[in-house]
Structure 1
Amino acid sequence: MRATDSLHSMFLMVIIILYVHSACYAHNNNNKKINISAAFVFGDSTVDPGNNNYLPTIARANYPPYGKDFANHVATGRFSNGRLVTDFIGEFIGLKRNLPPYLDPSLTMNDLMTGVSFASSAGGYDPLTSKVNGALTMMQQLELFKEYKAKLEVSIGKQKTDDIVRRAGYVVSSGTNDFALNYYGPTLVQRSAYPNISDYHHFMWHNIERFLQGLLDEGAKVIGIVGVPPIGCLPAMITLHSKEFVTNRKCIENLNDVSKKFNQMLQNNLKGLKTKGTKIVYGDIYKPIINMVEQKTQYGFEEVQKGCCGTGLIEADFLCNFNSQLCDDVSKYVFWDSVHPTEKVYKLIYESLRTSVLKEISKP
């Protein structure tokens, strides 16, 4: 598979969910305007724009050097040097430039009506992952969505609220922390309870199914759920699980196999949740990331196994901070810290999709 093909696969389905139920398209300056009501996002740090700023947790990114390349160099709580894929998507479909965190107390009703993120960094599908790290569980995020709906009903009425919820696009991105911070992390609880990784996969699926059903019960019609990346290629995982993490850094293949098997299970099981009038779409994140790592020069990258922040070996969260030295050119790096991608990676993915998406939405 060509690199461009795999980039196309990563978020094409996720973006498609944001307009699949739209019946009207307006033509303006040769661009298509997608008529959807809002975007709602759930998951972990890949899609958290700053909810953890308002939680008692150390898993925050509201301080430099995070946000180095964000507007006005503001550290918003996004675990990157800049914007996230969901920000680019929200701007593209005409909702807002950056999708805000639901817990931000300064949000206006207009902010809320066009969509927010309920995601919480360091969270996962396994409730233990979230609890250990002080993050919101997926069910707590769902409860916040219910709270959101109640707020809207008071302000604009039930009919308008139901219309927004029905015509909105939903994105779910989580799972990495369940492996990186939990199952293969410092705690032995889940490895003891589920000594076979496939059993842990099934436990995760039980939680995913419960969450998705809850979202459907609340009125969601179209949901995009993203798989997990090649966790064996995350710089932190290479450092923690390699015998030669300084002199011979390379992806940990057995951990990548865990990602592939989980993604296959997720893709297969999602088919059983589809009902009339709803659509649940799987988005592949594994192939694009692995291709960036293995074919780095095609994307202008030079460093794919270290982060830009600090040594790039282990720094993330509070270890990437005011005192951390940064790489000379972040555009040459796939990873901003030892876990999270750079804005360039997110933007590269978005830009690779734009033409394809415009072509898709012009179809009858």
Structure 2
Amino acid sequence: MKLQMLWLALVLIAVKINAAKQGNNTTIPALIVFGDSIMDTGNNNGLHTILKCNFPPYGKDFPGGYATGRFSDGRVPSDLIAEKLGLTKTLPAYMSPNLKPEDLLQGVTFASGGTGYDPLTAKMMSVISVWDQLTYFKQYIATIKQHFGEEKAQNILDHSFFLVVSSSNDLAHTFLAQSYKYDRTSYANFLADSAAKFVRELHKLGARKIGVFSAVPVGCVPLQRTLFGGLLSPALDSLDKELDGVIFYINVYDTLLDIIQNHEKYGFEVADRGCCGKGTVAISYLCNSLNPFTCSNSSAYVFWDSYHPTERAYQVIVDKLLDKYLSKIY
């Protein structure tokens, strides 16, 4: 009898470990995402901004071939991570006009293409700042409480994975507009402080499992890697020790840079230009269905447009990174 019980216990442990590896552990009830175009699944669609992509050829590899407002040929990391966690294959945008209360239960993304930690970034692009995204998150929790009760809302706060993906637009674009006010080091310090402040505010609202992406190697590369990454990582380590829960830094920079520099190793043919248009300056409205140069096989490319990776590149990044960090959130 004791041997049978021991055998059963070992089987259950093995099943649990395997489920965690496969992303099917149901102890993560939802994925909640804040940030920019890397994670936006359509929040910019209803905004008066030039940073939109709810038209072909965006979405040509999305299920059904629909242009949903995702800045890629198909799904984006918010979708792929949600799938990896066993939640859903497509994470809804909070601003979607068709969103129903039950659609909120497995999580949402508040991300808005073109935004950043610097309030000026969102203002310049007429998009949703990360700070306004926190306001929408409060609405989200209130809606969960209203429709599904306090216990359900508390479970989402306690056990969901919260992901913050910002800073690339600040570093690539807004820094130049702020050069009269900041040098490289002081602006990186400002962003690191802003990121830490954002995490603190998110923690105050109840989030307990928070991962923060580094900037990606697009645009102002040296500043992104040597300054911002170097400042943000220790700041988050400090918060992790200070606050209850789990707060950690996810270094996506080195992974994407390796894919770009060694693209053939990952099965990609092209890494120096995007699939859409001629691939050099094509983004948003410059990447459209009238452009005759868009490639037919986007999975051969690391980048979809001149700024955003393809779904296949995103899948490689998520597969390489998330397994490394899964143990932190289970």
Is structure 2 residue 277 aligned with structure 1 residue 290? no
User: Aligned to 1:231, what secondary structure does the other structure show?
Assistant: coil
d(CA) in 2 for partners of 1:354 and 1:266? Answer: 19
Report the Cα distance in structure 1 between the residues aligned to 2:190 and 2:87, rounded to whole angstroms: 36
Asked if 1:141 corresponds to 2:133, the answer is yes
**TM-score under structure 2 length normalisation:** 0.88
2:96 counterpart residue number: 104
| Deviation at residue 84 of structure 1 after TM alignment | 1.1
Partner residue in 1 for 2:205: 218
Aligned position for 2:309: 341
TM-superposed CA distance for 1:329, in Å, is 2.4
Aligned twin of 2:189: 202
> Does the residue aligned with 1:326 lie in a helix, a strand or coil?
coil
Runs of 4+ aligned residues of structure 1 deviating over 6 Å after TM superposition are 354-358
- Residues 115-161 of structure 1 deviation map (CA, whole Å, 9 limit, x = unaligned): 00000000011000001101111110000000111111111222321
SS in structure 2 of the partner of residue 191 of structure 1 = coil
Summarize deviations over 1:150-184 as a string: whole Å, max 9, x none.
Answer: 11111122232122211111000111111222224
Q: 1:173 to 1:53 in 2, by over 3 A?
A: same
Distance, in Å, in 2 between the alignment partners of 1:121 and 1:332 is: 24
Whether 1:154 and 2:121 are equivalent positions in the alignment is no
Q: 1:65 aligns with which of 57, 65, 83?
A: 57
- Residue 272 in structure 1 maps to residue 238 in structure 2: yes
Aligned position for 1:329: 297
Alpha-carbon distance in 2 for matches of 1:156, 1:312: 46
Distance change (3 Å), C-alpha of 1:263 and 1:88:
same
2:268 aligned with 1:301 = yes
Query: How far, CA to CA, are the matches of 2:323 and 2:167 in structure 1?
Result: 29
Distance 1:178 1:26 in 2: 44
Q: Are residues 1:263 and 2:229 paired? A: yes
Q: Which runs of 5+ in 1 are unaligned?
A: 1-23, 233-254
Secondary structure, counterpart of 2:198 in structure 1: helix
| 2:64 corresponds to 1:77 | no
Contact 2:78 2:109 survives alignment (8 Å)? no
The number of aligned residues is: 311
The RMSD of aligned alpha carbons is 2.2
TM-score, normalised on structure 1?
0.80
C-alpha displacement of 1:257: 1.6
- 1:191 equivalent to 2:179? Answer yes
Partner-residue secondary structure (3-state), 1:206: helix
Structure 2 gaps, min length 5: 1-11
Q: CA deviation at 1:277?
A: 2.4
Name the CA distance, whole Å, in 2 between partners of 1:217 and 1:356.
27
**Match in the other structure for 1:12:** none
Whole-angstrom distance in 1 between the partners of 2:112 and 2:230? 25
Aligned pairs (5 A) from 1:10-25: none
Q: Cα–Cα, structure 1 residues 25 and 276, in superposed 2: closer, same or farther, change >3 Å? A: farther
Letter aligned with residue 193 of structure 2: H
Aligned to 2:31: 39
Question: Displacement, 1:66?
Answer: 0.3
**Cα distance in 2 for residues equivalent to 1:152 and 1:54:** 23
- Superposition deviation, residue 338 in structure 1: 0.3
Change (3 A) 1:79 1:126: same
Q: Give 1:353 deviation, angstroms.
A: 5.6
Aligned-residue identity in percent = 38
Q: CA deviation at 1:355?
A: 6.7
Q: Distance in 1 between matches of 2:85 and 2:261?
A: 31
> Which letter maps to 1:111?
D
